[in-house]
Amino acid sequence: MDLKKMNNHYDIIITGGGCAGLSLAYKISKQQKLNNLKVLIIEKEEKKKNDRTWCFWTTENLVFNEVISKSWGKLQFSSGYFDKTFDIKPFQYHKIEAKDFYPFVKGEISKNKNNHLLQDTVHSIDCENGIYQVKTGQKTYTSKLVFNSILDIKNLKSSLKKNQTLLNQHFKGWKIKTENICFDSNSFQMFDFDIPQNKEVRFVYILPESSTKALIEFTIFSKKPLIDNEYDHFLKKYISKKLNIDSYIVEEVEKGEIPMTDFKFRRIEKNGVHNIGIKGGMSKASSGYTFYNIQKDSSKIAESLCLNKILNPYQVERYTIPERFRIYDSMILDIMENKGEYISKVFSTLFQKNSIHKILKFLNNKTSFLEDLKIMSSVPSYPFIKAFLKKKLL
């Protein structure tokens, strides 16, 4: 049977057309050598909502420059113990909104007639004699290569080992427009820990778009989300009491959850399916930052496909989150889970005693081991040693 002649057969199938699925399809479509490949992306949603605001910091020029809607060169940190605004240049903190990202990327992908975007729900992915069968409600599609970004949280919970942690980063944000000038649009607030911690990790994150517009997000790292009006109640109080803003309208709402875990996601499943995105371990366990790693990963996958190669999990770790950073994240997660209120002190010391450039490099998993040691010796070590021993990390 000539698979190529079957109209439901593709060279590559990408399941889940969110950030990772679309990024990978985009990077493949930008490689001339891969232009003849038939690529199918299966996504269950229409992807028209502004369901995410992605931010990341870098000194590099990234491919999605076209959809970066705002960049900041200054970062604010507040905790009550330590408050400072840092100049982060040559880094820039960039913002991309889903409402710009999805149509732009889909438009670029659709320029190549070999790419097909299908709105359907994937029910199963099976492999027989080296051929994958991806079943949706309607049809079965086949391919020799599948990249999967569909994460099943229930499955993740039941697969956790005893010494692994799963926290939920849950947040709700209001994009507000104020009557008067209220914000410095050159700097964003990465953390305002100066709010009641409730034995958890709680902070406010502020992205000012202009002097009268900002996204203000109440973020918690804990086991369970709050009920909806608890976020609203907090945001209302924070905006009036802390920011002293009385006159404003809420233009948009962003609500989300990100799993934060030291679970070892498999890059390659036993049946050979390649996992990408959060499912492929691209999320930093202690912060939930994922976008930057997804971009690195999808570029590298497309480059390796040009060379007819498949990256092994160790190569992937090296350019995304090397093993030692996974160990640090695992310790921080344990402290977040068991002594959440302590995190604001750890971060205050971190920001107080180290250069901002080193911190941003460290949080992006880019520092050398020697730099890591210097950074780690600047914060109280006891809770980290305790977490290290408890989790039996080596």
The rounded distance, in Å, linking the Cα atoms of 210 and 214 is 7
| Among positions 12, 13, 16, 39, the unique one binding ligand FAD when judged by CB under 6 A | 16
Q: Are 41 and 298 in contact (CB under 8 A)?
A: no
The answer to the question of residue 281 lying near ligand FAD (CB under 6 A) is no
Least Å from the CB of residue 289 to ligand FAD: 4
Our CB check for ligand FAD shows the closer of 207 and 343 to be 207
The rounded distance, in Å, linking the Cα atoms of 383 and 338 is 10
Q: Which stretch binds ligand FAD (CB under 6 A): 41-49, 73-81, 260-268, 314-322?
A: 41-49
| Among positions 26, 56, 77, 91, the unique one binding ligand FAD when judged by CB under 6 A | 56
Q: Which stretch binds ligand FAD (CB under 6 A): 110-118, 262-270, 287-295, 372-380?
A: 287-295
Strands 53-58 vs 92-97: parallel, antiparallel or unpaired: antiparallel
| Among positions 14, 19, 117, 360, the unique one binding ligand FAD when judged by CB under 6 A | 19
Q: Which stretch binds ligand FAD (CB under 6 A): 12-20, 84-92, 334-342, 361-369?
A: 12-20
Residues near 301 by Cβ (< 8 Å), separated by ≥ 6? 24, 27, 28, 147, 274, 276, 311
Report which of 63, 126, 137 is spatially closest to residue 94, judged by C-alpha positions. Answer: 63
Our CB check for ligand FAD shows the closer of 274 and 391 to be 274
Cα-Cα-Cα-Cα dihedral sign, residues 260, 263, 264, 270: negative
Our CB check for ligand FAD shows the closer of 238 and 291 to be 291
Our CB check for ligand FAD shows the closer of 150 and 359 to be 150
Residue 260-279 contact track with ligand FAD, rule CB under 6 A, x = bound: -----------------xxx
CA dihedral 368, 369, 375, 379 (to 10 degrees): 160
Least Å from the CB of residue 70 to ligand FAD: 12
The answer to the question of residue 55 lying near ligand FAD (CB under 6 A) is yes
Running DSSP on this structure, what letter comes out for residue 273?
Answer: P
Our CB check for ligand FAD shows the closer of 82 and 93 to be 93
The answer to the question of residue 288 lying near ligand FAD (CB under 6 A) is yes
The rounded distance, in Å, linking the Cα atoms of 57 and 93 is 4
Instruction: Please list, residue by residue across 124-141, b when 16 or more beta carbons sit within 10 angstroms of its beta carbon and e when fewer do.
Output: ebeeeeeebbbebeeeeb
| Among positions 256, 259, 313, 322, the unique one binding ligand FAD when judged by CB under 6 A | 256
CA dihedral 342, 346, 352, 358 (to 10 degrees): -150
The rounded distance, in Å, linking the Cα atoms of 263 and 326 is 10
The answer to the question of residue 122 lying near ligand FAD (CB under 6 A) is yes
Give the other-Cβ count within 10 Å of 383's Cβ. Answer: 19
Asked whether the bond before 259 is cis by omega within 30 degrees of 0, the reply is: no
The rounded distance, in Å, linking the Cα atoms of 169 and 222 is 7
Our CB check for ligand FAD shows the closer of 150 and 204 to be 150
Our CB check for ligand FAD shows the closer of 58 and 352 to be 58
The answer to the question of residue 302 lying near ligand FAD (CB under 6 A) is no
Least Å from the CB of residue 376 to ligand FAD: 23
Q: Which residues of 262-337 form beta strands (DSSP E)? A: 274-275
- Of 132-151, binders to ligand FAD (CB under 6 A) are 149-150
The answer to the question of residue 290 lying near ligand FAD (CB under 6 A) is yes
Footprint of ligand FAD (CB under 6 A): 16-21, 42-45, 52-56, 121-122, 149-150, 254, 256, 258, 277-279, 288-292, 294
